[in-house]
Chain A
Amino acid sequence: DAGVIQSPRHEVTEMGQEVTLRCKPISGHNSLFWYRQTMMRGLELLIYFNNNVPIDDSGMPEDRFSAKMPNASFSTLKIQPSEPRDSAVYFCASSFRMSYSGNTIYFGEGSWLTVV
């Protein structure tokens, strides 16, 4: 079975440019998460969707960040304009969540972003 698929795997961009990260969750999963990982702050949850609807975006650092999930099989995380402090590994993860029980989340391989 295909896991969570992220693209691009690596991106180097100049400050001020727009960056779009893409994610395809595991088929059948109904929850999707975007995490950011840095040495200083560890793993941070940026936003998560349930049935394509954003549930909690309190982790989105500022207005430069936006995320969408137009359908069950695709999500984007956009940074515009990008800044050097946005350099990090961005993970997408998905899970199948039932009403009153949790479930394991599965991570993609991450998108390594470097903003110079």
Chain B
Amino acid sequence: AQTVTQSQPEMSVQEAETVTLSCTYDTSESNYYLFWYKQPPSRQMILVIRQEAYKQQNATENRFSVNFQKAAKSFSLKISDSQLGDTAMYFCAFMRNTGNQFYFGTGTSLTVIP
């Protein structure tokens, strides 16, 4: 079974600073997909970034980037120049290449402090 672990239930960061959210996962698969979703207070689940395991290059989307360490099964999210609108719950998710089910972590609640 696949598991996704987010060991930081809550984090905070000063506005304009950089913060890194951790995620580890457990799988025996060699090819899979990893995602970070953001859930602001409105509860909408918004895709932040996606990484294919077969790609060595870390994905980047504007201020959001990942550090994907396949051997260590680690997939952290770095948010640069944090903004107040980044305040949200962040979920790490795993999807097998041969399946269609997403496995979500328990989330990290991020607060950006003005």
Contact = CB atoms under 8 A, between A and B. Distances in A.
A28 interface: no
B104 A31 contact: no
Contacts, number: 47
Contacts of B102: 33, 45, 105
B100 A55 contact: yes
A39 B64 CA distance: 26
A110 B43 contact: yes
Given A42-B104, A55-B100, A102 B33 contact: yes
A43 B100 contact: no
B62 interface: no
Contact of A109 (B37, B43, B47): B43
A111 B1 CA distance: 29
A25 to B, nearest CB: 13
Interface in A56-115: 56, 89, 91, 93, 95, 97, 100-102, 104-107, 109-110, 112
A34 interface: no
| Majority-rule SS of A interface residues | strand
Contacts of B37: 107
Interface string B31-58: 0110101000011111100100000000
B97 interface: yes
A105 B101 CA distance: 10
Contact of A42 (B43, B44, B100, B107): B107
- Most chain A CB within 10 A, of B37, B46, B101, B107, is at B101
A20 interface: no
Contact of B100 (A89, A97, A112): A97
Contacts of A105: 102
Across the A-B interface, the 8 shortest Cβ-Cβ residue pairs: A107-B45, A43-B104, A102-B95, A102-B33, A42-B106, A110-B43, A109-B44, A97-B100
Given A89-B43, A109-B43, 11 more contacts: A31-B100, A37-B43, A45-B102, A50-B100, A95-B100, A97-B100, A101-B97, A102-B96, A104-B47, A105-B102, A110-B44
